Structure 1
Amino acid sequence: MMNAILLLPVGIVLLNVFALALVLLRAPLFRLPVYWPMVLNVGLSVAPAVVLGIGVAVVMAVVSLVPSQALLLAVMALVLVVWVLLLPNSAYLVTELNFSHRRPTDDPAPLWYDIVMVLSLALSGVLNMLMNVLLVQFAFVLLVRPNDDDPYRQPDSWVLVAVTLLLVSVGIYLGRYVRFNSWDLLHPGSFVRKLAEHFRVPAHLRTLAGFVVVHTLFFGLMYLLVVAPVLLLVAAASR
């Protein structure tokens, strides 16, 4: 059973490597410059997982060296906030499906190559995000229901997943249509002004609603089909 559980993270890592390799090989194969925005987006896509890893290490250090509940809660809250702010960067790769990297005419890279490349990028980003959500749901259940034999029958962790996917969809919209980055929140005054200016247009509110509903449903279905079965396998293995 453990081998089956490991297939998902191993497959996601390999898909990330494959997508990055296609982006980098496109340049020498077809005598084109490297499209660096894609490379940057791949790096940003794995950033939430790096934050989670660092957060776990810091939490373990706090528990071992400075057993303070207040400090532990503060560290966990900080990690969670940073993680939520970075998480849309993973699923943002789905927006690469617009093929904006191709030349308008006579692009030397064949279309079939770019189709596989952007699909690999989009799927790697979506799966990176879903894997992050899976880990957080698992950690939530361990913290809240450590002695429950069947904790996933309770709705609280699934509500957490749904809210997280909703926030991710909102974040992708803000990144694509308002051109926000996660670090723009370091300048809250400018952030609020730009946001208010964007949503003064009524059509933008309708676009936001449609975008968020469609993307949240898509991510939710992907979670149920691809990721949630692994979570249930882990739960079954731990009984």
Structure 2
Amino acid sequence: MTAALLAAAAVIVLDVYAVVLVVLRAKVYRVALYRPMLLNIGLSTLPVVTAIGVVVGLTVLAPVLTRLADVAADAGVVVLPIYLALATGVWLLLFPNSVYLITELNFSHRTADSPVPLWYDIIQTLVLTLSGLGNAVLSLGILHALFVVYEEPDDAVPPTASWVLAAVVIVLGAVGVYLGRYLRVNSWDVRHPVSLLRKLAAHLRQPGKALEASAFVVTHALLVAVLYVPLFSLTWTSFVATAV
């Protein structure tokens, strides 16, 4: 439990540090405040807030399921999976917002005649990237742990299905980042799936775009996976040891 709390605290510190650097950049060097970065930081924290909300909602739902079980024995078996599916679906739509901060490394906010030193923007974008990755790992870790607990494994090792789920989420997150950066798609555009698919199909039909998209998704997914797998494994092991 201590490891999990420390990890969460580290992510919060990174998020705050990212905001401070963006604000100080404008005040110290007398340049316009780059509001899109602040918006992206806020959006990046939404998956963490949503993941916590899923757990809190489950806690609130528990006594309701207990009462429903007194009325109908199978009520909990039906209601719980529906709640988890819907809540996880909302979280999944928001998840790419955290990994999206990786793309700030393109320095799109910087101009050739900027009075801001290059070293400052390098640190700022690195912190933004790390905070986004931290939010991604933390939010996915929360839902991953919830899935493991829901599956009630026979031993302390997370079941293979939970790792498959995590892998799928990481890949979908990379796909979402590509859609956001190159097609300028937002999470709420899923409300218009036909239009979204047509836009994606037209984009991929352009010469070289399918290969570029594949390379983008693979490299970004591997980056998140390389960080996520050992961090979740260590945190889960620490949690199990504390629980025992």
Same fold (TM over 0.5): yes
**C-alpha distance in 2, partners of 1:52/1:163?**
17
For residue 103 of structure 2, what is the amino acid of its counterpart?
T
Q: Counterparts in 2 of 1:39-118, with a 5 A limit?
A: 39-65=38-64, 67=68, 68-69=75-76, 70-103=78-111, 105-118=112-125
Q: In structure 2, which of residues 180, 189, 202 is the aligned counterpart of residue 175 of structure 1?
A: 180
Residue 72 of structure 2 is matched in structure 1 by none
Superposition deviation, residue 202 in structure 1: 4.4
* Change beyond 3 A, Cα 1:86–1:214: same
| Residue ranges of structure 1 left out of the alignment (5+ in a row) | none
Structural RMSD (CA): 1.6
**C-alpha distance in 1, partners of 2:204/2:184?**
13
Alpha-carbon displacement from aligned partner over 1:151-196 (angstroms, at most 9, x marks no partner): 32x3221111111111111111111111111101112232122112
Residue 2 of structure 2 is matched in structure 1 by 3
Superposition deviation, residue 226 in structure 1: 3.3
| Residue ranges of structure 2 left out of the alignment (5+ in a row) | 69-74
Q: Is the CA contact (8 Å cut-off) linking 2:52 and 2:142 kept in structure 1?
A: no
For residue 191 of structure 2, what is the amino acid of its counterpart?
L
**C-alpha distance in 2, partners of 1:36/1:50?**
21
For residue 114 of structure 2, what is the amino acid of its counterpart?
D
* Change beyond 3 A, Cα 1:123–1:180: same
Alpha-carbon displacement from aligned partner over 1:193-223 (angstroms, at most 9, x marks no partner): 2112112224111111111111111111111
Q: Percent identity?
A: 42
For 2:47, what is the secondary structure of its paired residue?
A: helix
**C-alpha distance in 2, partners of 1:134/1:233?**
13
Superposition deviation, residue 149 in structure 1: 2.7
Q: In structure 2, which of residues 133, 149, 152 is the aligned counterpart of residue 145 of structure 1?
A: 152
Alpha-carbon displacement from aligned partner over 1:106-135 (angstroms, at most 9, x marks no partner): 201111111111000001001110111111
For 2:142, what is the secondary structure of its paired residue?
A: helix
